[in-house]
Amino acid sequence: MTFDGGTFSPLAGVLAVPAVAAALSAVLPDYRATARLNVLATALTLICAVALLFAKPQPGSYLLVDDLNGTFIALTAFVAFTTSIFSASYIGHELDIGRLTPSSVRFYHAMYQVLMFAMNLALIANNIGLMWVAIELATLTTVMMVGIYRTHEALEAAWKYFILGSVGIALALFGTILIYMAARPVVGEGLQAMVWSVLVTRAGAFDPALLDAAFVFLLLGYGTKVGLAPLHAWLPDAHAEGPTPISAVLSGLLLNVALYALLRFKMLLAANAAALAPGPLMMTLGLLSLVFASFMLYRRRDIKRMFAYSSIEHMGIITFAFGIGGPIANFAGLLHMTMHSLTKSAIFFAVGHVAQVKGTQRIADMGGLTETHPVLGWGLILGVVAIAGLPPLGIFMSEFLVVSSTFAREPLLAVVLVFGILVGVAGLFLRLNSIAFGEPRGPTAKVQASYVPMFSHLALVLVAGVYMPPALVVWFQNVAGLLG
């Protein structure tokens, strides 16, 4: 716990708690206690993150908290907390069957906390250089976690993720340098020319041509980390081969963090009237990801790989919504991002337990789940129903808002959007049918599962779909207004 001048500082808390917990996990003698420490630390981070929503410290030259990143941090901390509970039971099982050794468990938990630290730092950074360093750190930690099983496939997935992620962050750095070059004549040399809150107020005077070039590099660079279509190749492998809690964190959180970085730069470009409109670029990549990933859902044989493609699809929808812009589409994008994070991590919680019971991730080797494991099976069905966007769950509402605001602005694109979504829905249900119903296949041993994280996420998604509290609506409208 960190105290700043005698008062509790949530800002320091969201960074210091994971940092201290990472160091503790690395040295703690009892490796089984690291799982409990992980839960405790993410709970403390969650408390700090919620306190941060109300504290609103003054922006400095390195850190900044406003309603936009406050929302992202709270969501990150919440999903990280529930994932740590799921992770404790998942990792316990992996230890029992000997897939992980005590030292790799210790390493895993330390990396989990370093990842939390890096994501919070990336979200909270006011300095675009610092943000870049934080995203690089987050990439490195997830690479190591993807490769933790040390099988040939896991190492190959980690290697692919590593190389593609590195190219992505290299391009993002080039874009960051170009932003600095654009800012230098206006803001002056030195630190101030990399401080986002300074840049956004002075962006009107920047050289528009440099800003355009910078945004293209940033879009390609951070877009690789979001998993947008032509740059997504690392994503399915990384999701399929790593431990399932990491798939949940990757899909639910890290993709959002990269998207957040893109949004910050989009706001920068929007502040300059002469620069190119970033919207159409994001809409194109978003739609491409959606349609491509929807078709890819059909031929998937690995359950985690299938849901990884579903993540690409939904990141496409979210990027598209933010690309359209305006109060309603931004609202829809934020809501969809929140709902997707909650639902997709719930699905991965279910999938993690299913894969542990069945001892495989092959869809062909699992079947009749609702008969053998009713709670798990119906949980998975509920999750897929939610992610497919059926009413009355939350994703239905956000997808409906995205589609209706698109119809109002760009009717032709709305047709493509709806087509992509429908293709995706059909693909998911086709696979779900063989997993959940029919003849039971594969081992039917009882499962030592923690259902609480999964069902609490799904309950939240259901509640959001049926009744959104007015306070939350106002909050999201406010953030959507910030995004312009």
- Residues of this chain that bind another protein (CB under 8 A): 97, 99, 127, 129-130, 132-133, 136, 140, 143, 150-153, 155-156, 158-159, 162-163, 166-167, 170-171, 173-174, 177-178, 180-181, 184-185, 189-191, 193-194, 207, 209-210, 212-213, 301-302, 359-362
- The CB-of-420 to another protein minimum distance in angstroms stands at 28
Q: What is the C-alpha end-to-end distance of the chain, expressed in Å?
A: 36
For another protein, the closer of residues 44 and 199 by Cβ is: 199
- The CB-of-313 to another protein minimum distance in angstroms stands at 23
257 and 123 Cβ atoms separated by less than 8 Å:
yes
> In whole angstroms, what is the distance from residue 77 CA to residue 135 CA?
17
> In whole angstroms, what is the distance from residue 163 CA to residue 176 CA?
20
For another protein, the closer of residues 187 and 376 by Cβ is: 187
Contacts of 457 (CB under 8 A, 6+ apart): 79, 82, 342, 343, 345, 346, 349
As given in the structure block, the two tokens for residue 229 are 């279509």
The tally of CA atoms less than 13 A away on the side-chain side of residue 208 is 10
- The CB-of-59 to another protein minimum distance in angstroms stands at 17
For another protein, the closer of residues 30 and 189 by Cβ is: 189
* β-sheet bridge partners, residue 125: 63
For another protein, the closer of residues 214 and 229 by Cβ is: 214
Q: Decide: helix, strand or coil at residue 55.
A: helix
* Helix ranges (DSSP H) in 28-127: 33-55, 67-96, 102-124
Kindly report the number of other CB atoms within 10 A of residue 369's CB atom. 28
For another protein, the closer of residues 209 and 426 by Cβ is: 209
For another protein, the closer of residues 51 and 170 by Cβ is: 170
Which candidate, 409, 432, 438, 283, places its Cα nearest to that of 347?
432
- The CB-of-24 to another protein minimum distance in angstroms stands at 22
Contacts of 373 (CB under 8 A, 6+ apart): 354, 357, 444, 447
- The CB-of-113 to another protein minimum distance in angstroms stands at 18
For another protein, the closer of residues 178 and 329 by Cβ is: 178
- The CB-of-157 to another protein minimum distance in angstroms stands at 11
> In whole angstroms, what is the distance from residue 310 CA to residue 301 CA?
14
As given in the structure block, the two tokens for residue 262 are 């893109």
State CA 479 to chain mean position distance. 18
Identity at 413, one-letter amino acid code: L
Residue given tokens 């040295």 in the structure block = 27
Contacts of 34 (CB under 8 A, 6+ apart): 25, 28, 105, 106, 109, 110
Q: Decide: helix, strand or coil at residue 373.
A: coil
Evaluated on CA atoms 137, 124, 476, 468, the torsion sign reads positive
Contacts of 41 (CB under 8 A, 6+ apart): 17, 18, 20, 21, 84, 113, 116
Q: DSSP assignment of 259-300, as one string? A: HHHHHHHHHHHHT-TTSPPHHHHHHHHHHHHHHHHHHHTTT-
For another protein, the closer of residues 44 and 131 by Cβ is: 131
- The CB-of-273 to another protein minimum distance in angstroms stands at 17
For another protein, the closer of residues 133 and 375 by Cβ is: 133
CA angle, residues 438, 343, 454, in degrees to nearest 5: 75
- The CB-of-155 to another protein minimum distance in angstroms stands at 5
For another protein, the closer of residues 302 and 399 by Cβ is: 302
- The CB-of-128 to another protein minimum distance in angstroms stands at 9
For another protein, the closer of residues 50 and 177 by Cβ is: 177
- The CB-of-99 to another protein minimum distance in angstroms stands at 7
* β-sheet bridge partners, residue 195: 127
- The CB-of-176 to another protein minimum distance in angstroms stands at 9
For another protein, the closer of residues 30 and 153 by Cβ is: 153
- The CB-of-211 to another protein minimum distance in angstroms stands at 9
